[in-house]
Amino acid sequence: MNQTNDNSMPQRKIISNGVSPVVTRFAPSPTGYLHAGNYRTAVFAYLFAKHSGGKFIVRIEDTDAARSKREYEENIFDALAWLNLPADATYRQSEHRSRHRELLEKLIAADTAYVSKETPQKPGDREEVIRFRNPGGSLTFSDVIHGDITTDVTDLGDFIIARSLDEPVFHFAVVVDDADEGVTHVIRGGDHISNTARQLLISRALGFATPTYAHLPLIMDSQHKKLGKRTGAKALTDYRLLGILPEALLNYLAFLGWNPGDTREYMSRDELVEAFDLTRVQKGSAVFDEVKLFSVNQHWMRKLSTDDFLTRGNLSSDSPEKLRKAVPLLQERARTYGEVQEMLDGELSCLFSAPEPARDQLLAKELPGRQAVAKSALEGLLEAIKALPGEVSAEEVKGVIMPLADEEEARGKGGRGAVLWPLRYALSGQERSPDPFTLISILGPEESLARIQKAIAILEG
RNA sequence: GGCCCUAUCGUCUAACGGUUAGGACGAGAGCUUUUCAAGCUCUAAACCCGGGUUCGACUCCCGGUAGGGUCACCA
């Protein structure tokens, strides 16, 4: 793995150093599918960089060759592209081995680090590792979000920075790469707070400028534990499978631990870039709420035009015209495209295939002479529906049917429902469905008539 | 357990010493509709506790409590 001639890796661009004031990075390790919490840090890093007119880079931290998988790496770029968070440059940490080695040797030569003889504690442990000579004392760094954070680095001891000259450990590789790539702002999860001190020690020993740190509050699951694979967090790309729109997910993620300072709740990517500000980032952790995400998604689905709605959801049908007419129904009912599909297969399936109404259900409820009432009610509609034009709006249908239902009501035989219920049920064959006027406008007079006549036949039989 | 971080409705949050503590999602009720959904209206729902500082604390300080993170030859 880790060959360089692989086109799954996006095109590289050289960052012109000094030109851009801000460079942020997203540095995931490709050892599994990343979840919403991971991508939330990417979102913040991206928004901050773009708001500042800077660069956003992605670095795959694949120094753990045993656990890193190309499949996961592809999934990361796939998700980033889907969320529309394009990188200005991408790197793979394993490609910087010689640079890491060079600096490791430099530290050893300066006796800031040393090769240490070890007694292996577990399988895989080396007999020799490279340790950093810890100067001890306390170290304070200023975090953009949390303010000053002080650590007593003595507690860290002479920590390991590499398993061998060619196998630097995370802390070392991160510091070197961030510096080499010109990263000015390290925006990452709060679980890295305790790593910062030792990284700062390495950074100083190497003579690097220290980047600005911003440790984001963690995203929690419903049990208030850090979002994690083992605790059932979904891979971000699973939300695409559920039929979530990327702009909705981006919107939701951006609002987890941040807000624009005004009353806006729904913001496009451009609006987010414009408004994003690290100083408004929350200190406390936030719980990921799928229900809220769904509601944000519904908002964005409703904003789509009929054509876009169909295209974005990859929706098609043998009856494209009916499907088009059903879009408003879908937009008011479904929160995700997954739900759209469920509805098309379920409660809205009556739009595409003739129902088999049950005799008992056709009868208006709780009425004396129910059968006669339902039958005559349906028969009374035949003429009016026959007279309808081929293309009718639900409003127009309502205009002709409602008066007839009102007449029935005037006769005191159970109100409009005596007409409306059998009608709706005859058309849909379902206890729950859109209203009969909408149904007729989608089905058209001809098919509606056929369904009503079928229902009348059932009542007679 | 050591170290570190955090603390406003169930959840996401507003408030930056003076408000009837606001909004959103969710929940409940009503209207509408003899279905469902949507829509509209309304309601319930929070400043973790204790000390200070101050004329005055959700806001500042200290302590406690609770929650979380982290303590690898993983990142």
In the structure, how far is the CA atom of residue A353 from the C1' atom of nucleotide B4, in angstroms?
Answer: 62
Q: Is residue A192 a part of any domain in this protein?
A: yes
A261-295 core/surface letters (b: 16 or more CB in 10 A; e: else) = eeeeeebebeebbebbebeebeeebbebeeeebbe
Q: Give CA–CA dist A326/A228, Å, rounded.
A: 39
What is the per-residue pLDDT for A5? Answer: 34
Q: Which domain holds residue A334?
A: 306-351
In the structure, how far is the CA atom of residue A217 from the C1' atom of nucleotide B7, in angstroms?
Answer: 13
- Residue A386's Cβ-side half-sphere holds a number of Cα atoms within 13 Å equal to 7
> A138 and A78: one domain?
yes
Reading across the β-sheet that carries A128-132, which strands appear in turn? A113-117, A128-132, A160-164, A167-168
Name the protein residue, with chain letter, whose CA is nearest the C1' of B39: A332
CATH number for the domain that contains residue A185: 3.40.50.620
What is the per-residue pLDDT for A15? Answer: 38
Q: What is the pLDDT of residues A269-318, one digit of tens each?
A: 999 999 999 999 999 999 999 999 999 999 999 999 999 999 999 999 99
Share of chain A above pLDDT 70, in %: 93
Share of chain A above pLDDT 90, in %: 78
Q: What is the mean pLDDT of residues A205-227?
A: 95
Q: Is residue A8 a part of any domain in this protein?
A: no
Q: Give CA–CA dist A353/A243, Å, rounded.
A: 25
Q: Give CA–CA dist A135/A154, Å, rounded.
A: 7
Q: Is residue A7 a part of any domain in this protein?
A: no
Q: Is residue A11 a part of any domain in this protein?
A: no
Is residue A134 predicted with pLDDT exceeding 60? yes
Name the protein residue, with chain letter, whose CA is nearest the C1' of B71: A194
Q: Is residue A4 a part of any domain in this protein?
A: no
Reported residue count of chain A is 461
Q: What is the mean pLDDT of residues A195-224?
A: 96
Between A176 and A1, whose confidence is greater?
A176
- Nucleotides of chain B touched by protein CB (<7 A): 2-8, 10-15, 23-26, 33-38, 67-75
> A266 and A312: one domain?
no
According to DSSP, the β-strands at A160-164 and A167-168 are antiparallel
Measured CA to CA in angstroms, residue A298 lies from A115, A116, A266, A326 at distances of 58, 58, 11, 16
What is the per-residue pLDDT for A405? Answer: 84
Q: Which nucleotide is nearest to A292 (CA to C1')?
A: B25
> A276 and A152: one domain?
yes
In the structure, how far is the CA atom of residue A315 from the C1' atom of nucleotide B66, in angstroms?
Answer: 49
Q: Which nucleotide is nearest to A420 (CA to C1')?
A: B34
* Amino acid identity, position A331: Q
- Last residue within a domain, chosen from A303, A323, A340: A303
> A205 and A330: one domain?
no
> A406 and A424: one domain?
yes
Q: What are phi and psi of A59, to 5 degrees?
A: -125, 120
Q: Is residue A9 a part of any domain in this protein?
A: no
Name the protein residue, with chain letter, whose CA is nearest the C1' of B6: A284
- Do the beta carbons of residue A285 and residue A218 sit within 8 Å? yes
- Last residue within a domain, chosen from A351, A376, A407: A351
Q: What is the CA radius of gyration of chain A?
A: 32
> A274 and A187: one domain?
yes
> A199 and A334: one domain?
no
What is the per-residue pLDDT for A374? Answer: 84
Number of domains making up chain A: 3
Measured CA to CA in angstroms, residue A32 lies from A4, A38, A226, A446, A449 at distances of 21, 11, 16, 55, 56
In the structure, how far is the CA atom of residue A89 from the C1' atom of nucleotide B45, in angstroms?
Answer: 48
Sign of CA dihedral A28, A33, A38, A39: positive
What does A79-141 look like in DSSP terms, one character per residue? HHHHTT---SEEEEGGGGHHHHHHHHHHHHHTTSEEEEE----STT--SEEEEE----SEEEE
What is the per-residue pLDDT for A11? Answer: 31
DSSP summary character for residue A353: S
Q: Which nucleotide is nearest to A435 (CA to C1')?
A: B35
**A23 sits in which H/E element:** strand A23-26
Strand ranges inside A217-360, DSSP E: 219-220, 286-287
Q: What is the mean pLDDT of residues A345-355?
A: 93
In the structure, how far is the CA atom of residue A445 from the C1' atom of nucleotide B2, in angstroms?
Answer: 77
What is the per-residue pLDDT for A371? Answer: 72
> A66 and A202: one domain?
yes
Q: What is the pLDDT of residues A150-173, one digit of tens each?
A: 999 999 999 999 999 999 999 999
Task: Show Cβ contacts of residue A54 under 8 Å, excluding neighbours closer than 6 positions.
Answer: A20, A21, A22, A23, A24, A48, A184
> A291 and A343: one domain?
no
- Last residue within a domain, chosen from A324, A351, A378: A351
What is the per-residue pLDDT for A6? Answer: 34
What is the per-residue pLDDT for A4? Answer: 34
What is the per-residue pLDDT for A199? Answer: 97
> A64 and A202: one domain?
yes
Q: Is residue A1 a part of any domain in this protein?
A: no
CATH number for the domain that contains residue A388: 1.10.10.350
> A54 and A129: one domain?
yes
What is the per-residue pLDDT for A413? Answer: 59
Q: What is the pLDDT of residues A13-57, one digit of tens each?
A: 333 444 448 999 999 999 999 999 999 999 999 999 999 999 999
Helix A170-180 with A193-205: angle, nearest 10 deg: 60
* Amino acid identity, position A291: V
In the structure, how far is the CA atom of residue A280 from the C1' atom of nucleotide B15, in angstroms?
Answer: 13
What is the per-residue pLDDT for A1? Answer: 33
A39: closest CA among A196, A261, A189, A179?
A189
> A33 and A164: one domain?
yes
- Do the beta carbons of residue A292 and residue A256 sit within 8 Å? no
